[in-house]
Amino acid sequence: MGTVRELVRASARVLCVAIPAGFLAIFFLYPVGSILVRGIGVGGLERLVGLPGRGSFRGVVWFTLWQAVVSTALAVLVAWPGAHLLARRRFRGRAVLRAAATVPFVLPTVVVGGAFLALFERFGLSDGSLRLTRTVGAILAAHVFFNVAIVLRTVGTFWEGLDTRPEEQARVLGATPWQAFRWVTLPRLWPAVAAAASIVFLFCFTSFGVILILGGPTRATLETEIWRHAVFRGDLASATALAVVQLVAVLAMVVVANAMQRRRAVGQVPVRRVLPRASSRLLVGNLGLMAVVLGMPIAVLVERSLTTGRGPDAAWSVRNYAALADRVDLLPISALAALRNSLLFAVVAAGLAVLVGGLASLVVVHGRRTTSRLFDLGLMMPLGASAVTVGFGMLIALDGPPLDLRSSRWLVPVAHALIGVPFVMRTVVPTLRSIDHRLREAAAVLGASPARVRRDVDLPIAARALAVGGAFSFAVSLGEFGATSFLPRHPDRLTAPLVLFRLLGSPGEALRGQAMALSVVLMVLTAASVLVIEGWGRRGSVRGDL
């Protein structure tokens, strides 16, 4: 009997390692490795070397870089007052404001694109020769909308934990509030600012849906050029060369972002204290800024979804929502059918992410040191990698025996689960590490085996973290657009973001109305997921940054 138990335990340990490792190897390392092999293979290296000599390539790289730099600077500046408010002041509705500010971060990129199209149309900025909806201003505004939450959560959480006594001592010595902030607070806060900025820069550099919708054909980044070459032009060689450049750049940025994240924890000494109440002027000013930056695009999107007709003929109606059940000539299925596909794929993706991420978390916490580090690094890589690169890698790698999976309907949720696994691990690993070892020791003293200790002690505590990670995976899958744009090969498997992208790119008042209605539905579903996550996080022990 003892031999059988040992065999079962050994098999369980092997599966805990084999399932996440196999998932990562087949669906991430192999596709990305295929891009690298093709990029430096026969003829590929010459194409790579020749890229800098092409003016179009230099223009794309330059725009990719500078729009990411400017977007990052604007996001930090806009979020700074809110980070101070959440970190150093108390007021009624503080938790609600934190949750509401997080919603834009998980909104589908096509929804944000639709929101800013509606915003510019509402104020008459999309007509005429300037075509402002396709200018850099719209792109920068959308990126700020997306990434304010990262700065709020990263900088605000760190700021909240800083000891205030050094500032108070500086004030006693005669420093003004500005001098105390400039010479005492800011140097200690800088690691968190740098960490947040590095993450925002990475997301802006790899932005896809926003650039594609708002930039149009005149504004291109590496992400959109890879997609255009692979999907529209059928030029896989050029797409592969661009993907190699993108992959190297992203890996370099991930290294920098990880270094900034490690620096963020240095020197922080959390101190319990009673926060002063926010003044009415400070509260109104911050709420006003948040309402303009985050609330206005959403409000205009909702208004546009409930409006039919233009000018004097405009009227309030739910006709656009009712039309989601109708199939238009432009699409092989209705928007409602595509939404059902997205919900199904999101449920499957969340289940896969919880399974793989949960097993990987056990290995990270309880495995051997080398294996733990490899899993912690390897399974976080998809979060930093470009979704377009992952989707393109699957397109060219999983197209023949023994891994001919491009025609499989389940490849889309698998790609979504790849992105969801890091979210599961970011919630489960800290929770497992925070479990009091005395609980395990008490259970062992009472005769529980190691397997039973994990089942009866670790699992109930980690269940809430698994649920939070699964909810994040569901929200991410529901709005994923970059990787999905490469994968569906059957018209009846289109997802809601893909249908929304086609509707936004088509002329006609009725189709635009449907696009706005579908955007609102996706927004409500993802926002509900975030609010559920925030509720679980407040009731349980799961806390953390984005």
Length of the chain: 546
Average pLDDT over residues 60-78: 92
- End-to-end alpha carbon distance in the chain: 47
Residue 538: pLDDT band with limits 50, 70, 90: low
The confidence score (pLDDT) of residue 346 equals 93
Per-residue pLDDT tens digits for 275-292: 777 777 888 888 888 888
Q: What is the DSSP letter of 89?
A: -
Question: For tokens 């973290």, what's the residue?
Answer: 465
Q: What's the angle, vertex CA 508, arms to CA 480 and CA 139, rounded to 5?
A: 45
Total-model pTM: 0.80
On average, the pLDDT of the chain sits at 79
The whole-number average pLDDT for the span 173-197 is: 83
Domain 43-305 classification at class level: mainly alpha
Q: For residue range 234-265, list pLDDT tens digits in order.
A: 777 777 878 888 777 877 776 776 666 555 54
Place of tokens 């706005």: 516
pLDDT of residue 472: 83
Query: For residues 394 and 486, is the Cβ–Cβ distance under 8 A?
Result: yes
- For residues 505 and 117, what is the distance between their CA atoms, to the nearest angstrom? 11
The pLDDT value recorded for residue 45 is 60
Q: Where in the chain is the domain with CATH 1.10.3720.10?
A: 1-34+318-546, 43-305
| pLDDT score recorded for residue 345 | 93
The DSSP bridge partners found for residue 315 are 308
Choose the weakest-confidence range: 72-81, 285-294, 368-377: 368-377
- Tell whether the model's pLDDT for residue 269 goes beyond 60: no
Backbone phi, then psi, for 316, in 5-degree steps?
-80, 135
User: Is pLDDT larger for residue 112 or for residue 164?
Assistant: 112
Q: Is the CATH code 1.10.3720.10 the one for domain 1-34+318-546?
A: yes
At 342, the pLDDT band (50, 70, 90 cuts) reads: very high
Alpha carbons 523 and 265: distance in angstroms, whole number: 34
Give 82's strand partners.
Answer: none
268 sits in the region (left: phi over 0; alpha: psi -120 to 50; else beta) called: beta
Q: Determine the average pLDDT of the residues in 146-159.
A: 85
Euclidean distance between CA atoms 405 and 395, whole angstroms: 9
pLDDT tier at 430 (50, 70, 90 boundaries)?
A: confident
**Which residues does residue 316 pair with via DSSP β-bridges, in sequence order?**
307
**Phi, psi angles (nearest 5°) of residue 188:** -75, -25
Q: How many Å apart are CA 156 and CA 379, to the nearest integer?
A: 27
Position 128 scores a pLDDT of 43
Q: 23-27, 375-379, 540-544 — which is least confidently predicted?
A: 540-544
